[in-house]
Amino acid sequence: MSRRSRTVVFAAGAAVLAAFFALAVAGLPPFGNTDHPYRDLAVAASLRQSTANVVSSLTFDLRGFDTLGEEMILLGSVVGAVALLRPRPDEKEQNRSRTETNQSVALIAYVFLPLTLLLGFDLLVHGHLTPGGGFQGGVVLATGLHLLYLSGGYDALRRLRPLAWYEWVEGFTTAAFAAAGLIGVRNFLPRGVVQQLFSAGTVPILNILVGFAVGAGAVVLLAQFLTQAIALEDKDD
Amino acid sequence: MSAALIVVALLLVAAAGTAVVATGDPARQAITLSAYGIVLSLLFLVLQAPDVALSQIAVGTALVPLMVMLTVRKTKK
C-alpha cells in the first residue's frame, strides 16, 4: 500500500470516527447534572449491604463477577510476562558484587518503606469503608516493597523477597476468588453496622483476597523485569 | 469554584500529556509519564473519584514508569 493510499484510508476512517464521536458526545447528558439513575440505584443497594464505600460495594458485591474477569486479566498478564521474560537456557543469574547505593536515596527509602507498607495495609483493610481497596492496596504494597531495592540494593531485595512465596500467594488467592465466583458466592455473611470495621459481609474478605492477589502478582511481574534488567546484565559486560 | 478547579486540572492534564508526547528519550519519558500520572490523579480527585485517583497514583506514577525504566535499561545495552 502506497503512502498516498494509506493516507486516504486513514482520512476516511478518521472522518467517520469523528462524525460518530461528535454524534455520541452531542447525545450525552449535560456535564455535572443531578440526574444519575445508576448512582441512585447503586448507592441505595450498597447502603442496604452496609458498605460505606460504594465503589467497593460495586466491585466486590454488586458486580463481583466483573472483578473475577479482571483478576483473570491480571493473572494472564503476569503469566505472559513470566513466559516471555524467562531467561534463555544459556543465560545465568549472577551474584552481583555489592553495588554502591546513594546514601541519601537509601535513607529516604528506609524511612518510606515502613510508611508505604503501612499505607498499603491500611488501604487493604479499610477498602469497604474509605477510598481504596484490594487493588490499590495491593499495588502500593508491591511497589513499596521495592523501596528495599533503593535502600539495600538488588541483593537485599532478593534475599527478603522469596519469589516462590509470591507465586504461590498469587496462584492460591486467584484460585480462591475464582472458586468463589464459580460456586456463585453471594454476600452471605452478616452485614453489620455501616461504617464499622466489621461490616459489609464478604466485601472486606474479597477485598483482602484481591489485595494479596494483586500485590503478589505485581511483585512477580516486577521480578521478571528486575531479573532481566539487573541480574542477567553482568554476563555480557 | 469546583468548575474552575476542573478546568485547571484538565489544562494541567493536557499540558502534562503534551510533555509526555514531546519527550523523545524513553528513559526521560518514564519521568514525564510519572508526572502525568500525578496530574491525572489530581483530575480524578477533583472529579470526586478518589478510588480511581489512588489506582492512578499506584499504577501510573509508580508501577508503569518503573517497568519502562527497567526495560530501557535492558534494551539500551
Q: Which tens digits make up the pLDDT trace of A105-132?
A: 888 888 999 999 999 999 999 888 888 8
Instruction: Name the residue with higher pLDDT: A101 or B69.
Output: B69
A232: its cell numbers: 542477567
Each as own residue / partner, the long-range contacts of residues A39-42 (CB below 8 Å, 24 or more positions apart, any chain) are none
Give me the residue from A56, A140, A229 closest to B58, CB to CB: A140
Average pLDDT, chain A: 86
CA dist A95 and A129 (Å) reads 45
A25: its cell numbers: 458526545
Do A225 and B71 make contact, defined as CB atoms within 8 angstroms?
yes
Chain B hits for A236, Cβ within 8 Å: 77
Chain A hits for B63, Cβ within 8 Å: 139, 142-143, 218, 222
User: pLDDT-based confidence at A202, cuts 50/70/90?
Assistant: confident
Instruction: Name the residue with higher pLDDT: A93 or A106.
Output: A106
Residue B1 has pLDDT above 60, yes or no: no
Could you tell me if residue A153 is left (phi over 0), alpha (psi between -120 and 50 degrees) or otherwise beta? left
pLDDT digits (tens, 9 = 90+) for A20-48: 999 999 998 887 788 888 888 988 888 88
Question: Closest Cα of chain B to A132: distance in Å?
Answer: 5
Question: Closest Cα of chain B to A161: distance in Å?
Answer: 17
**With pLDDT > 70 as the criterion, what percentage of chain A qualifies?**
95
Most confident of A134-143, A178-187, A197-206: A134-143
Do B54 and A146 make contact, defined as CB atoms within 8 angstroms?
no
A82: its cell numbers: 513470566
Using beta carbons and an 8 Å cutoff, which residues of A are at the interface with B?
Answer: 32, 53, 55-56, 123, 131-133, 135-136, 139-140, 142-143, 146, 218, 221-222, 225-226, 228-230, 233, 236
- Whole-number pLDDT of residue A237: 46
The residue segments making up the domain with residue B18 are 2-75
Half-sphere exposure of B40 (CA within 13 A, CB side): 20
Question: Comparing A79-83, A92-96, B10-14, B45-49, which segment has the lowest mean pLDDT?
Answer: A92-96
CB B53 within 8 A of CB B41: yes
Helices (H), chain B: 2-22, 26-46, 50-56, 64-75
Question: How is residue A186 annotated by DSSP?
Answer: -
Give me the residue from A132, A146, A230 closest to B54, CB to CB: A132
Domain total of chain A: 1
CA dist A210 and A61 (Å) reads 13
Do B63 and A225 make contact, defined as CB atoms within 8 angstroms?
no
Give me the residue from B50, B62, B70 closest to A226, CB to CB: B70
Question: Closest Cα of chain B to A55: distance in Å?
Answer: 7
Question: How is residue A32 annotated by DSSP?
Answer: T
Grid look-up 534488567 returns: A229
CA dist B22 and B17 (Å) reads 9
- Whole-number pLDDT of residue A36: 85
**With pLDDT > 90 as the criterion, what percentage of chain A qualifies?**
28
pTM above threshold 0.90? no
Which residues have C-beta within 8 Å of that of residue A119, sequence separation ≥ 6?
A140, A144
Chain A hits for B77, Cβ within 8 Å: 233, 236
Question: Closest Cα of chain B to A44: distance in Å?
Answer: 18
Closest CA to A217 of B54, B63, B60: B63
- Whole-number pLDDT of residue B6: 92
Task: Give the CA angle between residues B65, A99, A91 to the nearest 5°.
Answer: 75
Domain total of chain B: 1
Most confident of A157-166, A183-192, B9-18: B9-18
Closest CA to A214 of A80, A129, A124: A124
> Which of B74, B75, B77 to mutate to probe the A interface, most A CBs <10 Å?
B74
> Which of A56, A143, A233 to mutate to probe the B interface, most B CBs <10 Å?
A143
The residue segments making up the domain with residue A229 are 3-236
B37: its cell numbers: 500520572
